[in-house]
């Protein structure tokens, strides 16, 4: 106690102490590696072998405790708390990456092993169980393919975009620029919120019910012809519109009121202000919002099944006949393999290859949106 008193008294006349003990920069890494090693040793002693989940959990716990102990003993309590917070945040991030990376790894390794140019360019036309049996027996190459599903995915998603982007963006413009929070605006916001929560199968059933009713009126007894790619696109639009509205609305609200006023003050009418000033300023944000919406619906399975069925062959016509998309192709392959028994492996391999293509498609879309957003974004330029 006496020493502490003298230091505080001395501090009055002496310049403030600005330096303190600090661990070397590499310390967290050394501690992390050491914790992993300790965890491996414990795993061998207690569980009799190398067990990844056990090692990971143990290493995380030991690391947290060790970081705190080392830091507290040398740097003091405040820095130790800081370090443990950093450790927890980093560990949580790593934890969140685990399922993501393992999923990507599984898709790439399984799909990558199966994928070939033939799979991408052929359909399931004329596919027989015997072909898969020959493949599994090693007598032939993998037959069949999912060209038709790629075409279906692209067409249906494109049609869904054509329907939902104009509706969604215009609705958002109404909400932000015209509604002034009036009753209609509030009602739309409420309905959009409700629509965001609609289960996707319900959207599919809605679209099918709508078009089969129309078909039944036009051609009694022919409700089945309502199963088309277009019906699927309408189902996807129901899911997509609320996302587009929400994202666009938020982006439009970010455009400063200053810019609108500057435009009005020049005698520019409101609609032209929106088209020439507000939209160009926010276009990159709107595009990212649209991409998120596309990524959300491109992987939908349930609404496609009830609206477009399962096609085995190529169909370019959105308005007539069944269509397959990659998700329904994957689902169908796993659930109803072409050949039962051991040869079902062939169907499974085609499904993994299709999954890889789907993931790649979403990634390419995201990348494209980022590039476009970067090109169109307002430049700071000096």
Partner 1 sequence: MSKQIDIKDLDIFYGDFRAVDGVQMQIKPRSVTAFIGPSGCGKSTVLRTLNRMHEVIPGASVSGEVLMDGNDIYGAGVDPVNVRREVGMVFQRANPFPTMSIKENVLAGVRLNNKRLSKTEADDLTERALRGANLWNEVKDRLNLPGSGLSGGQQQRLCIARAIAVEPEVLLMDEPCSALDPISTLAIEDLINDLKDKYTVVIVTHNMQQAARVSDKTAFFNIAGTGKPGKLIEFNETSTIFSNPDTEETENYISGRFG
Give the residues lining the site for partner 1 (CB under 8 A): 180-181, 256, 258-269, 272-273, 276-277, 280-281, 378-382
User: CB 277 → partner 1: shortest distance, Å?
Assistant: 6
What count of Cα atoms within 13 Å lies in the side-chain half-sphere of residue 64?
14
Q: Which is nearer to partner 1, 181 or 374 (CB)?
A: 181
CB 157 within 8 A of CB 297: yes
Q: Which is nearer to partner 1, 133 or 263 (CB)?
A: 263
User: CB 186 → partner 1: shortest distance, Å?
Assistant: 14
Q: Which is nearer to partner 1, 118 or 261 (CB)?
A: 261
Distance CA 294, CA 299 (A): 9
Q: Between the CA of residue 214 and those of 132, 233, 323, what are the distances in Å?
A: 41, 16, 20
Q: Which is nearer to partner 1, 100 or 257 (CB)?
A: 257
Q: Which is nearer to partner 1, 246 or 260 (CB)?
A: 260
User: CB 207 → partner 1: shortest distance, Å?
Assistant: 37
User: CB 32 → partner 1: shortest distance, Å?
Assistant: 44
User: CB 79 → partner 1: shortest distance, Å?
Assistant: 41
H or E stretch at 58: helix 52-74
Q: Which is nearer to partner 1, 43 or 281 (CB)?
A: 281
User: CB 375 → partner 1: shortest distance, Å?
Assistant: 12
71-78 long-range contacts, CB within 8 A, separation 24+: 71/23, 74/21, 74/23, 75/20, 75/21, 75/22, 75/23, 76/20, 76/21
Closest CA to 259 of 279, 282, 278: 278
Q: Between the CA of residue 46 and those of 33, 40, 54, 62, what are the distances in Å?
A: 20, 10, 10, 15
User: CB 26 → partner 1: shortest distance, Å?
Assistant: 42
CB 122 within 8 A of CB 147: yes
Let me know if 5 is exposed, middle or buried by CB neighbors in 10 A (0-12, 13-18, 19+).
exposed
User: CB 272 → partner 1: shortest distance, Å?
Assistant: 6
Q: Which is nearer to partner 1, 128 or 272 (CB)?
A: 272
Alpha helices (runs of H) in 140-278, residue ranges in sequence order: 147-173, 183-196, 200-218, 229-254, 257-265, 270-273
Q: Which residues contact 153 (CB under 8 A, 6 or more apart)?
A: 298, 325, 326, 327, 358, 361
Q: Which is nearer to partner 1, 157 or 282 (CB)?
A: 282
Q: Which is nearer to partner 1, 45 or 380 (CB)?
A: 380
User: CB 192 → partner 1: shortest distance, Å?
Assistant: 21
Q: Which residues contact 350 (CB under 8 A, 6 or more apart)?
A: 114, 119, 142, 144, 145, 146, 329, 333
């Amino acid at each position: 106690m006496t020493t502490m008193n003298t230091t505080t008294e001395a501090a009055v006349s002496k310049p403030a102490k600005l330096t303190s003990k600090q661990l070397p920069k590499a310390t967290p890494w050394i501690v992390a590696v050491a914790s992993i090693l300790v965890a491996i040793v414990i795993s061998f002693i207690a569980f009799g072998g190398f067990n990844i989940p056990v090692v990971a959990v143990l290493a995380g716990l030991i690391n947290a405790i060790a970081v705190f102990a080392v830091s507290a003993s040398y740097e003091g309590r405040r820095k130790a708390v800081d370090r443990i917070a950093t450790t927890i945040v980093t560990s949580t991030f790593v934890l969140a990456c685990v399922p993501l990376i393992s999923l990507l790894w599984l898709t790439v390794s399984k799909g990558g092993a199966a994928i070939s140019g033939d799979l991408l360019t052929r359909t399931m036309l004329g596919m027989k169980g015997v072909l898969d049996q020959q493949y599994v027996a090693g007598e032939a190459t993998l037959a069949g393919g999912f060209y038709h599903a790629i075409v279906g995915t692209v067409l249906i998603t494109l049609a869904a975009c054509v329907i939902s982007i104009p509706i969604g963006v215009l609705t958002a413009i109404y909400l932000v620029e015209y509604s002034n929070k009036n009753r209609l605006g509030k009602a739309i916001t409420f309905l959009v919120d409700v629509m965001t929560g609609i289960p996707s199968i319900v959207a599919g059933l809605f679209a099918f019910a709508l078009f089969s009713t129309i078909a039944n009126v036009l051609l009694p007894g022919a409700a089945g012809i309502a199963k088309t790619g277009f019906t699927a696109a309408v189902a996807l639009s129901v899911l997509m519109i609320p996302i587009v509205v929400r994202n666009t609305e938020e982006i439009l609200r970010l455009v400063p009121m200053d810019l609108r006023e500057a435009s009005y003050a020049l005698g520019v009418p409101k609609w032209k202000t929106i088209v020439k000033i507000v939209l160009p300023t926010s276009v990159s944000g709107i595009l990212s919002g649209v991409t998120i919406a596309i990524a959300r619906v491109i992987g939908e399975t349930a609404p496609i099944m009830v609206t477009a069925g399962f096609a085995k062959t190529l169909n370019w016509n959105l308005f007539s006949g069944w269509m397959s998309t990659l998700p329904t192709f994957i689902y169908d392959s796993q659930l109803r393999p072409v050949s039962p028994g051991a040869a079902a492996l062939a169907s499974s391999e085609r499904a993994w290859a299709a999954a890889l293509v789907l993931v790649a498609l979403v990634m390419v879309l995201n990348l494209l949106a980022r590039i476009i957003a970067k090109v169109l974004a307002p430049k700071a330029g000096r």
